[in-house]
Structure 1
Amino acid sequence: MPSLLRRLAFSALLATSLGATAQDGKPVVLETFNVGQNVYVRSLHLDQAENTMWVGTSSGVHAIDLTSNTPKHTFTRDDGLANEYVFAISTDTRGYKWFGTNAGGASTYKDGEWKTYFPMHGLADYWIYSFANGTDGDLWIGTWAGANRFDVETGEFTTYVKELINEWVYGLDVDASGKVWFGTEGGLSMYDGQNWHAWTHENGLGAPNADDRPSSTNTGLGTRSRHDLSTLAAGMQTYNPNYCFAVHVDQDQKVWIGTWGGGVSRFDGSNFESYTVKDGLAGTIVYSIARDHDGVLWFGTNGGVSRYDGKQFQNITVADGLLDANVYALAVAPDGSIWAGTRHGVARVGTK
């Protein structure tokens, strides 16, 4: 199986060549990690208790010790993982790791024990794209056939399909009041514990036009074929502002939504404000969103990584040392650096 190798020579070169730029506060690539030839990094998850970064790829899961930046574990199907293509990773309130896979259901892991959930157990689908912990301790799961709520006490699943604006759920987050936000292929949905609400491009979601084109059209994500995310499908759409890949609730309880071609939108509960490449965003397809320790937002796009401090965007691209233009996953490490997952490995970026 592919091992996680630190690319020391390349990292040192970047640190030297970009040091002067970093002094201006612009984010730079600090180091890179190679997870194997033609291996996509689709998910990143920080376990603070273990000081470990979990890296979900198209060929298994790696656990990286952040103290030494060396691999602790590599899990594949042979170890108990349901499928080696891992879209999402989370830790529930009981300490179980959840791995959402491509066509393999969801696997859990704790203390060396594995368990896999399929639709026969109540899971909505075999394709799992996202997780979020609710304020009540339950785990929410986004699939391509609706959303699940997993009761961690009883082990029972509740499925929601018709309540959502669209059954393909990509992004998930929960705000401080317990509202659950769902980014779907048909718009934004929200469940407040009693009622369901929805918003689309007609309500202001996504940029109002398709004039801004992606910086990279070869995203590796096909829209024509529902489940084939490893190759570019023919006839791929480049603009669908209702297609919500990522959802993130910031410290002010504003909801940020990453769209397919419509940039990123901020929703305050009443109005949307959208940002595209015209505003400085690196790309118009936004796959992932993270917030660092200072409240600064980071966006993984099809044109690189964007840092947004509320005033301006600062971008990191392939020209700056990023391994690929398409950044599918982001996670914040304890030292404040940002881990960015691409189809050619992981880059650790920061303002140094």
Structure 2
Amino acid sequence: MKKTSKMIYLIVLLSLNFSCFEQKATEKEKNNSELVSTSKTDTLKFTSGIRTIFQDTKGNYWLGSHNEGVSYYDGKTFEYYTTNEGLSNNQIRSIQEDKNGKIWFGTAKGVSVYDKEMFIKYPTNTKNPKYEWNETEGDLWFNAGERDGINRFDGINMNYLIVPKPENQERDDAYGVTDISEANGDKVWIATYGALFNYDGKMVTIFDHEKLKLKENEFLHIRSVLADSKGRVWIGNNGIGVLLMEGNSIINFSEKHHLIHPTSTRRGDKSQPGTLEHIFAIEEDSEGNIWFGDRDTGAWKYDGKTMTNYTIDKNLKSQMIWTIYKDNTNNLLFGMAEGGVYKFNRKSFDKIF
């Protein structure tokens, strides 16, 4: 080989090597970013249950499943995203949109954000937890799996904040976040299995077994929380029904309305018809009615005076409701454990997805 040819060969080889190195460096900088490739269908194919529903500012719907990832509906077709496309996990527990139009997903294992047809992962940073919540900022909150803390995004970093556990905690109490409800102002209500927490921008207040005035045979297993437009806080438990905090008053709302069966163990046992003991979802509609989604007995509406029980679909084997969501045009949507989304038409329910 001539010297000129050898020189050209070396230049090309060095160029290729540098190109590969640069590509690897860029991929490393993306920090677990993955380009998205999707599949499409004309009807929703999820069967594992709809755990969360969200409509973005453009009117598109995002449906989070129990273990099949996310579906995006633009009014014509459903597109699907899973861990294969870059999601942190296929169990979707929350969906929200930031001020820049990015869509955020709280999963069972970390947070993912969808931006410009790409997913970026934010794993829970348990190695660097923060105990002083005031040292962080941001209005995007996410569960942190089954751990004893919550994730808060400040615009750059995902911060893992440790919840201050009650001093009289039981050994088997767990403080994994199950639901989050933001009230007027800076207040955030955080439901965990073993206690309810309130953060007002300055301090964290704990509402445990004692502060919620529970009986000795009543155990907290909180699955949902709602701070409504009237300043009331509704707490949905898996076993002891609904608790209502109104001012300094705390009552067992289910018990007051005779919706706990006399033979109930107030644990996770299957409930009798006509009871409200296992509440996994709470929402307020545009008229101020409070809706509850029960694991065993379907939907309940409270209009301020009376309670009304609804069967979503008699053909479903399970009436369990994972989520209740009020969309941009005030439609009330119900995500079911068997899959599918139903809309309340003021009298009954129509399956829309």
When normalised by structure 2's length, the TM-score is 0.69
Change in Cα spacing, 1:64 to 1:77, as seen in structure 2 (3 Å) is same
| 1:293 alignment partner in structure 2 | 286
Q: State the identity as a percent.
A: 24
Q: Following TM superposition, by how much is the alpha carbon of 1:60 offset from its aligned partner in structure 2, in angstroms?
A: 1.4
Cα distance in structure 1, aligned partners of 2:213 and 2:45: 35
| 1:336 alignment partner in structure 2 | 330
The one-character-per-residue Cα deviations of 1:66-111 (angstroms, maximum 9, x if unpaired) are: xx4x434221222221222212222233322111222x31111022
| 1:324 alignment partner in structure 2 | 318
| 2:306 aligned with 1:312 | yes
Q: Following TM superposition, by how much is the alpha carbon of 1:312 offset from its aligned partner in structure 2, in angstroms?
A: 1.4
Cα distance in structure 2, aligned partners of 1:351 and 1:81: 36
Q: Following TM superposition, by how much is the alpha carbon of 1:350 offset from its aligned partner in structure 2, in angstroms?
A: 3.0
Cα distance in structure 2, aligned partners of 1:85 and 1:275: 31
- Worse-superposed segment, 148-157 or 185-194: 148-157
The one-character-per-residue Cα deviations of 1:151-182 (angstroms, maximum 9, x if unpaired) are: 43332414223357753111211211312211
Q: Following TM superposition, by how much is the alpha carbon of 1:318 offset from its aligned partner in structure 2, in angstroms?
A: 5.3
SS of 2:223's equivalent?
strand
Kept in 2, the 8 Å contact 1:123–1:159? The answer is no
Change in Cα spacing, 1:138 to 1:123, as seen in structure 2 (3 Å) is farther
Cα distance in structure 1, aligned partners of 2:298 and 2:92: 21
Q: Following TM superposition, by how much is the alpha carbon of 1:117 offset from its aligned partner in structure 2, in angstroms?
A: 1.0
| 2:68 aligned with 1:59 | yes
**Structure number with higher strand proportion:** 1
Kept in 1, the 8 Å contact 2:225–2:233? The answer is yes
Cα distance in structure 2, aligned partners of 1:241 and 1:328: 21
| 2:251 aligned with 1:243 | no
Match of 1:115 among 108, 120, 125: 120
Change in Cα spacing, 1:293 to 1:337, as seen in structure 2 (3 Å) is same
Cα distance in structure 2, aligned partners of 1:174 and 1:87: 16
Number of aligned residue pairs: give it.
278
Q: Following TM superposition, by how much is the alpha carbon of 1:204 offset from its aligned partner in structure 2, in angstroms?
A: 3.6
Cα distance in structure 2, aligned partners of 1:304 and 1:329: 11
Match of 2:88 among 82, 86, 94: 82
Q: Following TM superposition, by how much is the alpha carbon of 1:328 offset from its aligned partner in structure 2, in angstroms?
A: 0.9
Kept in 1, the 8 Å contact 2:242–2:254? The answer is yes
The one-character-per-residue Cα deviations of 1:111-167 (angstroms, maximum 9, x if unpaired) are: 21210011348797xxxxxxxxxxx74212222213335343332414223357753
Cα distance in structure 2, aligned partners of 1:288 and 1:142: 16
| 2:143 alignment partner in structure 1 | 142
Change in Cα spacing, 1:195 to 1:269, as seen in structure 2 (3 Å) is farther
Gaps of 5+ in 1: 7-33, 125-135, 211-239
Cα distance in structure 2, aligned partners of 1:197 and 1:256: 16
Kept in 1, the 8 Å contact 2:126–2:160? The answer is no
Which residue identity does 1:172 align to in structure 2? I
SS of 2:184's equivalent?
coil
| 1:186 alignment partner in structure 2 | 194
| 2:233 alignment partner in structure 1 | 255
Kept in 1, the 8 Å contact 2:283–2:291? The answer is yes
Kept in 2, the 8 Å contact 1:299–1:307? The answer is yes
| 2:343 aligned with 1:348 | yes
SS of 2:210's equivalent?
helix
Q: Following TM superposition, by how much is the alpha carbon of 1:199 offset from its aligned partner in structure 2, in angstroms?
A: 1.8
The one-character-per-residue Cα deviations of 1:234-285 (angstroms, maximum 9, x if unpaired) are: xxxxxx6411111111001211111111111221241212222754575311
Q: Following TM superposition, by how much is the alpha carbon of 1:195 offset from its aligned partner in structure 2, in angstroms?
A: 2.3
Query: Greater CA radius of gyration, 1 or 2?
Result: 2
Match of 1:168 among 158, 166, 176: 176
Kept in 1, the 8 Å contact 2:326–2:333? The answer is yes
Gaps of 5+ in 2: 1-37, 130-136, 260-273, 348-353
| 2:103 aligned with 1:97 | yes
When normalised by structure 1's length, the TM-score is 0.69
Kept in 1, the 8 Å contact 2:94–2:142? The answer is no
SS of 1:257's equivalent?
strand
Match of 1:203 among 199, 202, 211: 211
The alignment's C-alpha RMSD in Å is 2.9
